[in-house]
Amino acid sequence: MKFAIAGNPNCGKTTLFNALTGASAHVGNWPGVTVDKKEGVYKKGGFRAEIIDLPGIYSLSPYSPEEVIASNYILNENPDLIINIVDATNLERNIYLTTQLLESDCPIVVALNMTDVAHRDGIKIDVRRLEEELGVSVVEICALKKSGIEKLMDTAAKEAKKPRLGKSVLEESEISCCFEKICSFAKDARHAKFRAVKALEGDAKNSGLSQDALLGIEKIKNEISLPSEFDSDFEAAVANWRYSYISKKISPCIKRKSASEALTISDKIDRFLTGKILGLPIFFALMFFVFHLTFSEDLFFLASLGILEEPLMSPGVYLLGLTEIFTEWLTGIVSSGLDVVKAAEWVKGMMCDGLLAGVGAVLSFMPQIMMLFMFLYILEDTGYMARAAFLMDRFLRRFGLSGKAFLPLLMCFGCLVPAIMGSRTLENDKERKLMIMLAPFFSCGAKLPIWSMFAMAIFPSNADIAIFSIYMIGIITAIIAAIILKKTVFKGDASVFIMELPPYHLPLIKNIALNVWEKLKIYIARAATIIAAATVVIWFLSSFSFGFSMVETNSNESILGVLGSFLQPLFIPLGFASGDIGWKAVVAILTGLIAKEMVVSTMGVLYNPNIEGDALEDDAASSALAATIVATFSPAAAVAFMAFNLLSVPCMAAVATANAEFKSAKWTWATIAFWIATAWVVSFVIYQIGSLLGY
């Protein structure tokens, strides 16, 4: 048997899925998009069912890849049953999707989840009455505590054997009689009512009906006179019928405590955290605290405040020290090993100055990156990030911007590629383009090693503040750029931002660990493949001249040296490209186009002061790198360099994704020019002001 779990985001689908499938789960991708596809097997006694976790959706409209995936799955893959999981604390909102699922012919069981929270908040749901209204079984569960799961699966196994015919709220609406006629056009197909509603809503493509049927339906639609406020917008009218069905039939199944008692704990926390006055300051303080925990060399400022003699290092900084020692040790071993086997000088150079210096530099920042991702994940999983988007919306509205784009933009802190794909959830083409153009300004995970490397080298005692500031430079640039673009290229109103604030949850340690582990795997895999390969190429290009003779490592006669020197003049006003070795910074920026970690691995190779085995003694390879950075970059130049890397063209994969979303080479090139120009101007301002102030 094949069961699909469908439900709104954050209603506990994945938790239920994990409880059902245990270790058999397997994560893949839906074809063509980066939406997770989770499959697993539920077994009990002789019973066995394949379980699939559909993406979280609020409706089955065709506006986001998630919605299209879910509705196509239900139409075409014929699951034996749909487990529709709904959040008992938010029933009315969740049933909206249920009314759509019920239109299919699939057997359905409704899993009423979060019953623990509902109980605590004094929400009582009349399950019998709900079953009667919906016409399908409803089982109360608590996915988190795994209660009710067996009853759910027993019911599901029974229901899956009974055929079911779809039902629609339209059958009870004013247009019930026209709807019947529309359905007759689809009556031979499975899921007739589901298809009929899609066609009525104007989503011909996903209805899967023949051209003739669609024409017939169009005729009937022309005869229907909708109430004037809908202005022949059938989609809005259908949504309205669904909501009125919910308020008439479903709302009476819910009993809440009286208004004053009904203020849930979530509401109380929200009054404080999303308050008009304290909301944004709390957000920034919280974000700073996250950076502080990850990067500070004086945790909680205990030493500066005089409470401790010796500063306490954050675990991230502490681990960074350990990974540096490890890389140094490994380089030493490899180098003496190669001496023993009398390897050629270039092999030794490639291994030690190339591969180990480059990949080692990237990997040494892994602990800090993991910590930052862990904290950000916790903020997201507790439900706080959704509030951050809400706060941002309220703030950005003053500038005529909508915070709607802010949610996909938050994803950019992880990786631009899925975030840019997520721009599809924005309905308005202008906002979609604007969002893509602003995406790189939200520092992605791959850029983090750059910030770590510079902050730890140049601002060792204030690394947390330095890195926090880089993120802020990005956000402020994004806001200013958005205001300018809105006034010029993208004129028009900000669209309304509707978003449900999910109730707060305590995150599960297991989920956090899993999530961080997933990120870790990707990071290591990238370092071992693309970064390692590119590093060897960089080493080669920096060790050989155009005539393919080996030159003194990292001299400006090397291939990279010549290329970098050619572009160098463009960057001299930004402060970081002057002098003999200024071309190296230029090359690092260029290689960052392959993948942003390459900026660090390239610098690991190019700024490696070519130490021979004995000189390595007390200077670790990467602290030698830090020393070279301190000697080469003034603080102002370092910040300008970071800002340039932050704001300029992102990695190739992100550009390709943007190009696919723009569907226009003209837009892609214009956007690339916009990124370079913004990066140049902001870096220029930072360097000029910084050096005026004497930094």
Binding residues (CB under 5 A) for Mg ion: these are 14
Binding track, positions 541-580, relative to ligand GDP; x by CB under 6 A? ----------------------------------------
What Rg, from alpha-carbon coordinates, does the chain have? 29
Among 110, 117, 478, 589, binds ligand GDP (CB under 6 A): 117
Q: Where are the alpha helices (DSSP H) in 163-210?
A: 176-185, 192-201, 204-207
Does residue 419 belong to the site contacting ligand GDP (CB under 6 A)?
Answer: no
* Cα dihedral 369→375→378→384 (10° resolution): -120
CB atoms within 10 A of CB 503: 20
**Using CB under 6 A, which residues numbered 94 to 113 contact ligand GDP?**
113
The rounded Cα 327 to chain-centroid distance in angstroms is 31
Indicate which of Mg ion, ligand GDP, none lies near residue 249 (CB less than 5 to 8 Å, by partner kind).
none
Q: Which is nearer to Mg ion, 69 or 238 (CB)?
A: 69
C-beta of 52: minimal distance to Mg ion in Å? 12
C-beta of 123: minimal distance to ligand GDP in Å? 13
Selection from 172, 178, 177 nearest residue 250 by Cα: 172
How would you classify the pairing of strands 124-125 and 36-44?
unpaired
Q: Which amino acid is at 207?
A: S
How would you classify the pairing of strands 81-87 and 2-7?
parallel
Does residue 69 belong to the site contacting ligand GDP (CB under 6 A)?
Answer: no
Give the interface segment with ligand GDP, choosing from 158-166, 195-203, 501-509, 645-653 (CB under 6 A). Answer: 501-509
Indicate which of ligand GDP, Mg ion, none lies near residue 144 (CB less than 5 to 8 Å, by partner kind).
ligand GDP
Indicate which of ligand GDP, Mg ion, none lies near residue 316 (CB less than 5 to 8 Å, by partner kind).
none
How would you classify the pairing of strands 47-53 and 36-44?
antiparallel
Selection from 649, 637, 641, 642 nearest residue 687 by Cα: 637
Does residue 279 belong to the site contacting ligand GDP (CB under 6 A)?
Answer: no
Cα–Cα distances (Å) from 642 to 361, 437, 451, 457, 465, in that order, read: 17, 19, 7, 13, 14
| Cα(403)–Cα(395) distance, integer angstroms | 8
| Cα(288)–Cα(410) distance, integer angstroms | 16
3-state secondary structure of 146: coil
Indicate which of Mg ion, ligand GDP, none lies near residue 68 (CB less than 5 to 8 Å, by partner kind).
none
C-beta of 382: minimal distance to ligand GDP in Å? 7
Q: Which is nearer to Mg ion, 14 or 402 (CB)?
A: 14
Q: Which is nearer to ligand GDP, 88 or 213 (CB)?
A: 88
Q: Which residue has the tokens 């009398």?
A: 342
**Using CB under 6 A, which residues numbered 376 to 415 contact ligand GDP?**
381
Q: Which is nearer to ligand GDP, 94 or 556 (CB)?
A: 94
Cα–Cα distances (Å) from 42 to 154, 334, 603, in that order, read: 12, 49, 50
Does residue 266 belong to the site contacting ligand GDP (CB under 6 A)?
Answer: no
Q: Where are the alpha helices (DSSP H) in 102-141?
A: 115-120, 127-134
C-beta of 91: minimal distance to ligand GDP in Å? 14
Among 3, 4, 6, 15, binds ligand GDP (CB under 6 A): 15
3-state secondary structure of 113: strand
Does residue 676 belong to the site contacting ligand GDP (CB under 6 A)?
Answer: no
Selection from 582, 538, 592, 589 nearest residue 560 by Cα: 538
Among 215, 263, 508, 533, binds ligand GDP (CB under 6 A): 508
Indicate which of ligand GDP, Mg ion, none lies near residue 447 (CB less than 5 to 8 Å, by partner kind).
none
| Cα(136)–Cα(131) distance, integer angstroms | 6
| Cα(472)–Cα(455) distance, integer angstroms | 15
Q: Which residue has the tokens 């991708």?
A: 29
Selection from 573, 629, 219, 686 nearest residue 449 by Cα: 629
Q: Which is nearer to Mg ion, 14 or 608 (CB)?
A: 14
Whether 292 contacts 314, CB under 8 Å: yes
Q: Which is nearer to ligand GDP, 93 or 505 (CB)?
A: 505
* Cα dihedral 214→219→221→224 (10° resolution): -160
Strand order, beta sheet including 137-140: 26-29, 36-44, 47-53, 2-7, 81-87, 108-113, 137-140
Spatial CB neighbours of 284, under 8 Å, sequence gap ≥ 6: none
Does residue 13 belong to the site contacting ligand GDP (CB under 6 A)?
Answer: yes
Does residue 9 belong to the site contacting ligand GDP (CB under 6 A)?
Answer: yes
Give the interface segment with ligand GDP, choosing from 162-170, 265-273, 297-305, 502-510 (CB under 6 A). Answer: 502-510
C-beta of 11: minimal distance to ligand GDP in Å? 5
C-beta of 83: minimal distance to ligand GDP in Å? 12
| Cα(406)–Cα(631) distance, integer angstroms | 39
C-beta of 259: minimal distance to ligand GDP in Å? 23
Q: Which is nearer to Mg ion, 23 or 305 (CB)?
A: 23
Q: Which is nearer to ligand GDP, 378 or 530 (CB)?
A: 378
Indicate which of ligand GDP, Mg ion, none lies near residue 505 (CB less than 5 to 8 Å, by partner kind).
ligand GDP
Among 55, 56, 358, 690, binds ligand GDP (CB under 6 A): 56
Residue nearest to Mg ion (CB): 14
Does residue 659 belong to the site contacting ligand GDP (CB under 6 A)?
Answer: no
Does residue 635 belong to the site contacting ligand GDP (CB under 6 A)?
Answer: no
**Using CB under 6 A, which residues numbered 122 to 151 contact ligand GDP?**
142-144
Among 3, 4, 6, 14, binds ligand GDP (CB under 6 A): 14
Among 37, 181, 394, 505, binds ligand GDP (CB under 6 A): 505
Q: Which residue has the tokens 């067996």?
A: 150
Whether 114 contacts 383, CB under 8 Å: no
Give the interface segment with ligand GDP, choosing from 7-15, 395-403, 541-549, 576-584 (CB under 6 A). Answer: 7-15
Q: Which is nearer to Mg ion, 6 or 317 (CB)?
A: 6
C-beta of 509: minimal distance to ligand GDP in Å? 11
In terms of Cβ atoms closer than 10 Å to its own Cβ (0-12, 13-18, 19+), residue 653 is middle
Residues in the site for ligand GDP, rule: CB under 6 A?
7, 9-15, 56, 113-114, 116-117, 142-144, 381, 505, 507-508
